[in-house]
Structure formats: C-alpha cells, structure tokens
Amino acid sequence: MTSLAGGQSQAVLTPLGGVETISFMPIQVGYQLFCVVVFITACASTNAAGDLREASLRLSEAEVSGARDYAPYPFHKATLYLEQARKKNATADYGTSREYVKAVLENVKEALTITRQRKELERRRNERQDDKKRSLSPDLNAPDGSTP
C-alpha cells in the first residue's frame, strides 16, 4: 500500500482482531532527524567558539596585568588548558573543549587573584622602604638641616 503523504503503509492486525493501518515515512523522518542533528551541532560549535574567545580574552587580560611574572603556575596551566581546548574544538569534541575552557577560566581567576595580592604586597613594601628612607635622610627644608 502507498499513502498520499509519500510514505508507505502497512495493515496490521490488532490484539482484538481488528485491522489498523500504520504509515511509514522514512525519508521525511530521516530528513527531520538530519535537520535536528545539524542544528544541535551548529549550536554546540558556536557556543564552544564563543567560550574559546572568552577564555582567550581573559588569559590576555591576565597577561597584561602581569600574571606571567606574579603568578606563573596558574598562568601557565591556563595557557596549556587553552591550547587543549582549541585542539578539542578543532576535532569537534565540544564537551571536552568546554571542560578545558572552564579550567582555563578557573586558573586565570586564580592567577589574577595572586597577581593582585602580590602587587599590593609589593606596593606596601615599597611604601615602607620609602618611609624608612625619608626618616633616615635629613630634612632639607628644616632651617638647621636637622632631622625631625
């Protein structure tokens, strides 16, 4: 039997002795399934590419802030994870790529935190040294040149 929709039909006996017609449309179902798979894949690759751009941008921000010098270990780990994320994305392994991107962002966050802390510590240390130098040097504005 052939149905009007272009698929095939088959008569089947029901358990109570009746007859039902079941329609099969393998071409339409296959096409619909193909469209769904293509749509999901396209969305996954777009999201992964956006995640990679964000991770790369954050890593660049960390480098500009001095994380390479102040927090070398988390910065280097983030760099390696980003490289792996790019490789996985290139082979369409988007789930693993996203996991690597998460690791990049975590390590960048850690690197930025350490960098801020170390810069603050360095600033305080420099202020203390400047205060010591001022206290040891004679006050050139004092009339007799003595220290206060």
**Which percentage of the chain shows pLDDT scores above 70?**
61
Instruction: Please give the pLDDT value at position 64.
Output: 95
Mean pLDDT of 91-115: 95
pTM: 0.59
Tens digits of residue pLDDT in 53-73: 999 999 999 999 999 999 999
Strands (E), the chain: 8-13, 19-24
Instruction: With beta carbons less than 8 A apart as the criterion, state whether 9 and 1 touch.
Output: yes
